[in-house]
A = this chain, B = another copy of it.
Amino acid sequence: MSFSHAVKRMLVGRKLASTQLGETLLPKRIALPVFASDALSSVAYAPDEILLTLSLAGMAGFAFSWWIGLLVAVVMAVVVLSYRQTVHAYPSGGGDYEVATVNIGPTAGLVVASALLVDYVLTVAVSVSSGVQNAEAMLPFLAGHEGPVAALVILLLMAMNLRGVRESGTAFAVPTYLFMVAIIGMTLWGLFRILVLGHELRAETADWVVHSSAPYAQNFTGLLMVALLARAFSSGCAALTGVEAISNGVPAFRKPKSRNAATTLGLLGLIAITMLGGIITLANLTRVHMLDVRGGAWFVKPDGTEVHHEATTVVGQLARVVFQDSFLPGFYLVVLLTMLILFLAANTAFNGFPTLGSILARDGYLPRQLHTRGDRLAYSNGIISLAFAAVALVLIFNASVTALIQLYVVGVFVSFTVSQFGMLRHWTRALRTETSAPARQRMQRSRLINAVGLTLTGIVLLVVLASKLLHGAYLAIIAMVVTFLVMKAIHRHYARVAKEVALSGPSDRALPSRVRAVLFVGQVNKPTMRALAFAKATRPSSLEAVTVAVDDEQTRALLEVWDDNQVDVPLKVIASPYREVTGPFIEHVRRIRTDNPRDVVSVYIPEYVVGHWWEQLLHNQTALVIRTRLHFMPGVMTISVPYQLRSSQEAEQRYEADDPSAWRMVGQ
């Protein structure tokens, strides 16, 4: 076992056979943390972005955070209820993609798929960036290196996910539950201190005043104020991403899959709303203020000094004010768990993205190799693609949550809206054939829920588009359109090829009348002789050995060795006026082919099998070029006769010891 192999095994664990797949199914108590971390973790940045956006209107803006929080909670509740219907109706895990495809059409499905693929990437980028931002409260030396640190975290998550879904589930459950306990505990203890004990808790930024160099600051009235509130609400809606992950992940649940998934979804909604409400309430009571440094604003402290950097995150400020003078370990626990949960939130996308990618590959919208499972039964190719795209994003935006959040949310609301419309049609169609009264009643109730969901998510989508388009959402939309067009093109390509290669009649099976074998000779040695022996063994109708004369002296020597070895096949020498090997040989094969149109030409090429890539540079280059060019000639098959040099044995053992997924990454 080589070192790299050992490292790989350490990172991704043992192989899992297909029959072991059952074992990787998730019980509810594990599924909740695996699929819920995204939605839950957004309490670590959604309140921040709400307050930060409101700060554009100066100190007066912060008063609106209650209302924004309440609105987000309402939307969340409706979306959760809507998706419970989807989980029941479509237990196969296609989620929004399947709902849209089946009920509206393939194009609608593809729109949803593009939106979701882009949003999965953004989920990873935003969550990990926010995690790094939170980590800075404890590890200040990270400041200034957010991009690379976030990229590193994403690559670690990738490695964990290549181990397979079950093990990550177990590993992720404990911190997720601890996070819930910590946040809800902090909220309760804070409220208890304020409301019952009458403590006056004031956040570190409570007395800091927002100043801004922007000309319109402090002048937010009328429509401008509405627009600002809409933007704050849009950022707050980041809390809703991840809700749909469960509907894509139903097959990963234990049976009864749909019911377990629906229950988990309900629990998730309840916990998320509780946490978000708690944080916003506490932030208002302790008067947490946030600041958009990128918008040219700064704080002025009561003593007149100015603060030009971003404030600590909301959760960090709350944890400090609630625990600092009462239970200091609580502060560290909350900050640490928030950081952890954000990194784990990215894991939701690492579950959802490859599943969706695999379904799209099955339907011919993505390269087929994405459909095959890796040896860990997770879709390695999808996991790797997701990680690389997210790494690119955090490096480009230097892991700034405020910048990335402008791109976020659009995709998820596109898919919410389209999928709710699909569900509406689903129930309408189901009602057409259903006769049992209780079933009809259930369906009508579901249809009503989905109708409300459609209305609400549609409105939110319009609000998000209107308020964020110019702030960065256009980038996300461009990414979705490009993804859509690429998938469409791939599908068109596969369809065209399938039509072109479909069997059309008995002429497809017409046998060539004869086989004319041609052996390419560069030197006279064992590889050439082996190729000759193999060619003879196939007993072709005709067999000729051909060499190209580039250097007269060498050619003469070659002919002598050929004769010396009493080879019973004549060696034909082709002249090469341009001192070039490939061209004249190809021409020769073409001539044979033209002279015998009903025969098949089989070209034997001896190849050296070597053990290292640099040895490959020293051999087989002619063989490579000849094979590539002969491929364009119908009725010609190229036959590689490998000759294994000693150095190849080591390489073979390396491949054999290693698992097949190393090969699959090359692509299947």
Residues of A within 8 A of B (CB): 15-19, 367-369, 372-373, 375, 377, 490, 493-494, 497-498, 500-504, 508-515, 524-527, 529-530, 532-534, 536-540, 550, 565, 567, 576-583, 600, 602, 607-609, 615, 617-619, 621-622, 624-625, 627, 629-634, 636-646, 648, 651-652, 655, 660-661, 663-664, 666-668
Contacts and interface: CB of A to CB of B under 8 A. Distances in A.
Contact of A537 (B537, B600, B648): B600
A298 B15 CA distance: 70
B503 A529 contact: yes
A625 B582 contact: no
A19 B625 CA distance: 25
A645 B538 contact: no
B536 A511 contact: yes
A625 B667 contact: yes
Contact of A580 (B372, B639, B648): B372
B602 A493 contact: no
Contacts of A617: 367, 667
Contacts of A501: 525-527, 608, 643, 645
Contacts of A646: 500
Contacts of A580: 372-373, 375, 660-661, 664
18 contacts: A368-B618, A497-B619, A498-B525, A500-B645, A500-B646, A508-B530, A512-B537, A513-B537, A514-B537, A515-B538, A534-B602, A539-B539, A581-B668, A621-B668, A622-B668, A625-B666, A637-B641, A639-B640
A335 B496 CA distance: 63
A565 B503 contact: yes
A368 B550 CA distance: 13
Contact of A512 (B17, B368, B534, B645): B534
A615 B550 contact: no
Contacts of A607: 631
Contacts of A16: 578
A503 B565 CA distance: 9
Nearest to A579: B373
Contact of A640 (B529, B538, B631): B631
What number of copies of this chain does the assembly contain? 2
A593 to B, nearest CB: 13
Given A373-B578, A373-B579, A501-B526, 12 more contacts: A373-B580, A494-B618, A501-B525, A503-B524, A503-B525, A504-B526, A508-B530, A512-B537, A539-B539, A580-B661, A602-B639, A632-B652
B639 A644 contact: no
A579 B525 CA distance: 41
B493 A512 contact: no
A15 B578 contact: yes
Identify the 9 closest CB pairs spanning chains A and B, nearest first.
A621-B667, A501-B525, A583-B660, A632-B652, A17-B577, A631-B642, A373-B579, A501-B526, A508-B529
B632 A493 contact: no
Contacts of A17: 577-578
A366 to B, nearest CB: 9
B582 A663 contact: yes
Given A503-B565, A540-B538, A618 B493 contact: yes
Contacts of A608: 497, 501
A660 B19 contact: no
Contact of A550 (B372, B510, B578): B372
A490 B18 contact: no
Given A579-B372, A621-B369, A637 B526 contact: no
A53 B515 CA distance: 75
A357 to B, nearest CB: 15
Contacts of A537: 511-515, 600
A639 B639 contact: yes
Contacts of A15: 578
A602 B531 CA distance: 12
A637 B529 contact: no
B538 A538 contact: yes
Contacts of A636: 642
B493 A666 contact: no
- Residue with the highest number of chain B CB atoms closer than 10 Å, among A15, A497, A527: A497
A332 to B, nearest CB: 44
Contacts of A633: 642
Contacts of A493: 615, 618
A490 B618 contact: yes
A583 to B, nearest CB: 4
Nearest to A517: B538
Given A494-B618, A578-B18, A578-B375, A511 B527 contact: no
B632 A609 contact: yes
A509 to B, nearest CB: 5
A624 B666 contact: yes
A537 B636 CA distance: 12
A109 to B, nearest CB: 20
Contacts of A643: 501
Nearest to A644: B634
A498 B523 CA distance: 10
Contacts of A372: 550, 579-581
Nearest to A584: B660
Contacts of A631: 607, 609, 640, 642, 644, 648
A156 B10 CA distance: 51
A449 to B, nearest CB: 33
A665 to B, nearest CB: 10
A537 B513 CA distance: 7
Contacts of A368: 618, 621
A617 B375 CA distance: 22
Contacts of A667: 617, 621, 624-625
Nearest to A510: B533
Contact of A511 (B533, B565, B641, B668): B533
Given A17-B578, A490-B618, A512 B540 contact: no
A668 B525 contact: no
A655 B629 CA distance: 8
A616 to B, nearest CB: 10
